[in-house]
Structure 1
């Protein structure tokens, strides 16, 4: 993308935020008007226009030397602006023959009546949500957000909630059915069927032993553990005596005098 506009600093600041990747081109007509303010008596218009529209660096150099003959500071002033912004020969992308913003004036005059027409959204499903100096793209149709919370948890994230509220849509309808009470009820709606005894079950085993037994394991020494083994990352709770108030033992093993 290439955007051509005048040297207004506010436009340039907004351009750098919204269109970071696009190329910035200066309007040659506005640049010429600024040059004329400093060189009112000099006939620079013809040489400048040819310099801005030159396709090759050699042709550009020829016309900028003509400007230097009119004023020795001309090259320095134009280089300070940034040659790649206004000179076609130094432009880093495709310029599409757009050197000035004069076409915008023609469009503004032809669109006077159309400006009063109502505005409708081009896309009813995709939104850009700004939050804490970050921006997120929400697609209601695909039930997705660039933060990926909606994609993974299947519950609308905060960005999706904003987009849904703008469209006056019900948040519950965009929550996955997994979380609905009706889904939990349906899971246990059917009863659990009873099974026959092991002796009455038909054996479908084709070979080997008919009887399937549990694996033979040796029971460890000591009382069986009832609690799971904790990870080394988990913090272990410290016992505190409710009689003496010290840590490391309970009331039963407290040695403090009564």
Structure 2
């Protein structure tokens, strides 16, 4: 079963390479253009200049006046605690699952232990 990397990302995986070799196709046209060596080299053609000193930055006054604070609450590590809902007295003592017979329809037992259904 293929890994679907070829369909999703156009990255030639072992499955796609094997199929292309079996059909005698070239692999170049089936590979994404962003991953070809010529395109990767073009990304480094544009010079990247370092930032000037912090004192030389031009920052708007409206941005300088804003105060950014850290979040008010920090989420504790681990799985969240289970939240117990308030249960009424009826919910506390009521039986959750009540079996009913598939043969006669009576409640409290199932078809396997039904005396009326066996007869």
TM-score, structure 1 length as denominator?
0.21
**Higher strand fraction (1 or 2):** 1
TM-score, structure 2 length as denominator?
0.40
